[in-house]
Structure 1
Amino acid sequence: MNNLTSVNRARLALRSLTALFAFLLTLPALAQEVSFEEPKTYILGGLTVTGLQSYNEQTVKTYTGLIEGQPITVPGDQISEVIKKLWGLDLFTDVSFYYQIEGDRIFLELAISERPSLNNVTFYGIPKRKIQEIVDDTDLKKGKKITQSLIANSENYLENKYRKQGFLNAQVTIATSADTSGTNSQNMVVNIKKGDRVKVKNIIFNGNEKLKGSALRGALKNTKERRPGRFWKKSKFIEADYEEDLKSLIDKYAENGYRDARVLSDSVARRNDKRIDIYIDVEEGNRYYFGDIDYVGNTVYTDRQLNQVLGIKKGDTYNGVLLRKRIADDSKPDGQDITNLYQNNGYLFSTINPVEVSAENDTIDFEIRIIEGKETFLNKVTVKGNNKTNDHVVFREIRTKPGQKYSKDDIIRTIRELGQLGFFDPEQVRPDIQNPNPNEGTVDLGFDLVESGASQIELQGGYGGGGFIGTLGLSFNNFSIQNLFNKEAYQPVPMGDGQTFALRLQASRTFRVYSLNFSEPWLGGRKPVRFNMSLSRTQQFRATFGQNGRVDVDKDQQFSITGISLGLAKRVQWPDDLFVLSHSLSYQLYDFRNYRTGLFNFGNGTSNALAYTIGIARNSSGPSPIFPISGSNIALTAKFTPPYSLFSDKDFAALQDESADIIAEQRERAQLGLGGEERDEFLQNRLEELDQERFRWLEFYKIKFKADWYNRIVGKLVFRFNSEFGFLGSYNPDVGRVPFERFFVGGDGLGRNFTLDGREVIQLRGYENNSLTPVDPLTGQVEGGLIYNKFSLELRYPLTLKPSASIYMLTFLEAGNAFNNFQEFNPFQLRRSAGVGLRIFMPAFGLLGIDFGYGFDDDLRPDNTPGPSGWQTHFVIGQQF
Structure 2
Amino acid sequence: MKLLLNIKKENEDLGKQVNNLANISFLATYIKHFTVILLLTSSFNIQGQELQYNQGGKYTLGGITVSGNTAFSEQTIVSYSGLRKGNEITIPGEDISKAIKKLWNSNLFSDIEIYITKIEDDSAFLEIRLSDLPQLNELKINGVRKSKKESIIEENKLVKGTKVTENLRTTTINYLTNKYKKDGYLNSKVHINTIDVVDSIKTARVNMVLNIDKGEKVKIKDIIFSGNSVLKDKKLRKSMKSTKKINRLRILKRSKFIDSAYQADLSSVIDKYKENGYRDARILSDSLIINNDKTISLKIDINEGELYTFGDITFIGNSVYSNEYLSRILRIKKGDTYNGVLLQERIADNSKPDAFDITNEYQNSGYLFSTINPVEVSADNNVIDMEIRISEGKPAYFNNVSISGNDKTNDHVVYREIRTRPGQLYSKANVVRTIRELGQLGFFDAQELTPDIKNPNPNEGTVDIDYVVKETGSSQIELQGGYGGGGFIGTLGLSFNNFSIKDIFKKDAYKPIPMGDGQKLALRLQASRFYQTYSFSFSEPWLGGKRPVQFSSSLSHTKQFLFDSSTGRPNKQRSFNITGITFGLAKRLSVPDDYFSLSQAISYQRYDLNNYNTGLFTFGDGFSNNLSYSIGLSRNNTGVDPIYPTVGSNFSATAKFSFPYSLVNGVDYSSLKTEYDALDLTDEDDFARASEIDQERYNWLEFYKVSFKGDWYTQIVKDLVLKPSVEFGFLGAYNNDRGVIPFERFFVGGDGLGNYSLDGRESIQLRGYPNQSLSSPDGGTIYNKFSLELRYPITLAASAKIYALGFFEGGASYDNFRDYNPFNIKRSAGLGVRIFMPAFGLLGIDFGHRFDDIPGTPGSSNTWETHFIIGQQF
The bucket for the TM-score relative to the shorter chain is over 0.9
Q: Comparing 118-127 with 839-848, which one deviates more in the overlay?
A: 118-127
2:278 maps to a residue whose letter is: Y
Work out whether 1:733 is the aligned partner of 2:736: yes
Q: Choose from 771, 774, 784 the match for 1:772.
A: 774
Q: Equivalent residue of 2:670, what SS?
A: helix
TM-superposed deviation, 1:128: 3.2
1:734 maps to a residue whose letter is: D
Shift of the 756–334 alpha-carbon distance from structure 1 to 2, 3 Å rule, reads closer
Alpha-carbon distance between aligned partners in 1 of 2:16 and 2:465, rounded to the nearest angstrom: 51
- Which residue number corresponds to residue 842 of structure 1? 837
Q: Equivalent residue of 2:606, what SS?
A: strand
Q: Is the 8 A contact 1:40 1:75 kept in 2?
A: yes
Q: Is the 8 A contact 1:26 1:98 kept in 2?
A: no
Q: Is the 8 A contact 2:220 2:257 kept in 1?
A: yes
Give % identity: 56
2:734 maps to a residue whose letter is: Y
Work out whether 1:385 is the aligned partner of 2:405: yes
TM-superposed deviation, 1:460: 7.5
TM-superposed deviation, 1:177: 2.5
Shift of the 379–596 alpha-carbon distance from structure 1 to 2, 3 Å rule, reads same
Alpha-carbon distance between aligned partners in 1 of 2:140 and 2:31, rounded to the nearest angstrom: 50
2:585 maps to a residue whose letter is: L
Q: Is the 8 A contact 2:484 2:771 kept in 1?
A: no
Work out whether 1:569 is the aligned partner of 2:577: no
Equivalent residues in 2 for 1:206-221, closer than 5 Å = 206-221=226-241
Q: Is the 8 A contact 1:456 1:475 kept in 2?
A: yes
TM-superposed deviation, 1:116: 1.9
1:714 maps to a residue whose letter is: V
- Which residue number corresponds to residue 780 of structure 2? 785
Shift of the 508–789 alpha-carbon distance from structure 1 to 2, 3 Å rule, reads closer
Work out whether 1:580 is the aligned partner of 2:597: yes
- Which residue number corresponds to residue 644 of structure 1? 661
Equivalent residues in 2 for 1:364-763, closer than 5 Å = 364-458=384-478, 471-507=491-527, 510-542=530-562, 544=564, 553-555=571-573, 557-662=574-679, 665-666=680-681, 680-752=683-755, 754-755=756-757, 757-763=759-765
Q: Is the 8 A contact 2:403 2:467 kept in 1?
A: yes
Q: Equivalent residue of 2:705, what SS?
A: strand
Shift of the 395–464 alpha-carbon distance from structure 1 to 2, 3 Å rule, reads closer
Alpha-carbon distance between aligned partners in 2 of 1:805 and 1:722, rounded to the nearest angstrom: 25
Alpha-carbon distance between aligned partners in 2 of 1:660 and 1:869, rounded to the nearest angstrom: 42
Alpha-carbon distance between aligned partners in 1 of 2:616 and 2:73, rounded to the nearest angstrom: 92
1:642 maps to a residue whose letter is: F
Q: Choose from 163, 172, 178 the match for 1:154.
A: 172
TM-superposed deviation, 1:652: 0.7
Alpha-carbon distance between aligned partners in 2 of 1:29 and 1:436, rounded to the nearest angstrom: 79
TM-superposed deviation, 1:131: 2.4
1:843 maps to a residue whose letter is: P
Q: Choose from 115, 125, 131 the match for 1:98.
A: 115
Shift of the 26–382 alpha-carbon distance from structure 1 to 2, 3 Å rule, reads farther
Q: Which residues of structure 1 form unaligned runs of 5+?
A: 1-7, 670-679, 776-781
- Which residue number corresponds to residue 674 of structure 1? none
TM-superposed deviation, 1:574: 0.8
Shift of the 643–193 alpha-carbon distance from structure 1 to 2, 3 Å rule, reads same
Q: Is the 8 A contact 2:136 2:159 kept in 1?
A: yes
Q: Is the 8 A contact 1:476 1:502 kept in 2?
A: yes
Alpha-carbon distance between aligned partners in 1 of 2:157 and 2:432, rounded to the nearest angstrom: 39
Q: Equivalent residue of 1:329, what SS?
A: coil
Alpha-carbon distance between aligned partners in 2 of 1:75 and 1:188, rounded to the nearest angstrom: 39
- Which residue number corresponds to residue 144 of structure 1? 162
Shift of the 255–341 alpha-carbon distance from structure 1 to 2, 3 Å rule, reads same
Q: Which residues of structure 2 form unaligned runs of 5+?
A: 1-10, 40-52
Work out whether 1:223 is the aligned partner of 2:223: no
TM-superposed deviation, 1:464: 10
2:230 maps to a residue whose letter is: K
Shift of the 119–554 alpha-carbon distance from structure 1 to 2, 3 Å rule, reads same
Q: Comparing 94-103 with 421-430, which one deviates more in the overlay?
A: 94-103
Q: Equivalent residue of 1:225, what SS?
A: coil
TM-superposed deviation, 1:507: 4.4
TM-superposed deviation, 1:62: 3.7
* 1:378-407 alpha-carbon deviations (Å, 9 max, x no partner): 110111111111100011111111111111
Work out whether 1:262 is the aligned partner of 2:282: yes
Alpha-carbon distance between aligned partners in 2 of 1:477 and 1:708, rounded to the nearest angstrom: 24
Equivalent residues in 2 for 1:22-33, closer than 5 Å = 22=24, 24-25=26-27
Q: Equivalent residue of 1:188, what SS?
A: strand
Alpha-carbon distance between aligned partners in 2 of 1:395 and 1:26, rounded to the nearest angstrom: 83
Shift of the 102–462 alpha-carbon distance from structure 1 to 2, 3 Å rule, reads farther
- Which residue number corresponds to residue 199 of structure 1? 219
Alpha-carbon distance between aligned partners in 1 of 2:484 and 2:736, rounded to the nearest angstrom: 39
Alpha-carbon distance between aligned partners in 2 of 1:221 and 1:837, rounded to the nearest angstrom: 25
1:596 maps to a residue whose letter is: N
Q: Comparing 634-643 with 108-117, which one deviates more in the overlay?
A: 108-117
Alpha-carbon distance between aligned partners in 2 of 1:490 and 1:470, rounded to the nearest angstrom: 29
Q: Choose from 126, 144, 151 the match for 1:126.
A: 144
Work out whether 1:296 is the aligned partner of 2:316: yes
Q: Comparing 312-321 with 273-282, which one deviates more in the overlay?
A: 273-282
Q: Is the 8 A contact 2:732 2:781 kept in 1?
A: yes
User: RMSD value over aligned CA atoms?
Assistant: 2.5
Work out whether 1:116 is the aligned partner of 2:134: yes
Q: Would you say how many aligned residue pairs link Structure 1 and Structure 2?
A: 846
Q: Is the 8 A contact 2:482 2:489 kept in 1?
A: yes
Q: Equivalent residue of 1:531, what SS?
A: strand
TM-superposed deviation, 1:583: 1.0
Q: Is the 8 A contact 2:605 2:626 kept in 1?
A: yes
Shift of the 10–867 alpha-carbon distance from structure 1 to 2, 3 Å rule, reads same
TM-superposed deviation, 1:715: 2.3
TM-score, normalised by the number of residues in structure 1: 0.92
TM-superposed deviation, 1:338: 0.8
TM-superposed deviation, 1:40: 6.4
* 1:436-495 alpha-carbon deviations (Å, 9 max, x no partner): 111111111011111001101136899999999874311100100111111111111111
1:738 maps to a residue whose letter is: I
TM-superposed deviation, 1:828: 1.2
1:585 maps to a residue whose letter is: I
Shift of the 745–688 alpha-carbon distance from structure 1 to 2, 3 Å rule, reads same
* 1:835-866 alpha-carbon deviations (Å, 9 max, x no partner): 11111111111111111111111122x2x223
- Which residue number corresponds to residue 341 of structure 1? 361
TM-superposed deviation, 1:414: 1.0
Shift of the 694–51 alpha-carbon distance from structure 1 to 2, 3 Å rule, reads same
* 1:212-266 alpha-carbon deviations (Å, 9 max, x no partner): 1111111111111211211111111112211111111111111111111111222
- Which residue number corresponds to residue 341 of structure 2? 321
Alpha-carbon distance between aligned partners in 1 of 2:563 and 2:267, rounded to the nearest angstrom: 70
Alpha-carbon distance between aligned partners in 1 of 2:29 and 2:736, rounded to the nearest angstrom: 121
Q: Is the 8 A contact 1:388 1:495 kept in 2?
A: yes
Shift of the 247–459 alpha-carbon distance from structure 1 to 2, 3 Å rule, reads closer
TM-superposed deviation, 1:311: 0.6
Alpha-carbon distance between aligned partners in 1 of 2:180 and 2:737, rounded to the nearest angstrom: 75
Shift of the 808–77 alpha-carbon distance from structure 1 to 2, 3 Å rule, reads same
TM-superposed deviation, 1:120: 2.5
Q: Is the 8 A contact 1:618 1:635 kept in 2?
A: yes
2:871 maps to a residue whose letter is: G
Q: Is the 8 A contact 1:543 1:554 kept in 2?
A: no
2:139 maps to a residue whose letter is: V
- Which residue number corresponds to residue 676 of structure 1? none
- Which residue number corresponds to residue 7 of structure 2? none
Alpha-carbon distance between aligned partners in 2 of 1:878 and 1:538, rounded to the nearest angstrom: 20
Q: Comparing 166-175 with 350-359, which one deviates more in the overlay?
A: 166-175
Shift of the 476–56 alpha-carbon distance from structure 1 to 2, 3 Å rule, reads farther
Shift of the 27–876 alpha-carbon distance from structure 1 to 2, 3 Å rule, reads farther
Alpha-carbon distance between aligned partners in 2 of 1:657 and 1:29, rounded to the nearest angstrom: 143
Q: Equivalent residue of 1:783, what SS?
A: coil
* 1:341-364 alpha-carbon deviations (Å, 9 max, x no partner): 111111111111000001111211
Alpha-carbon distance between aligned partners in 2 of 1:461 and 1:250, rounded to the nearest angstrom: 53
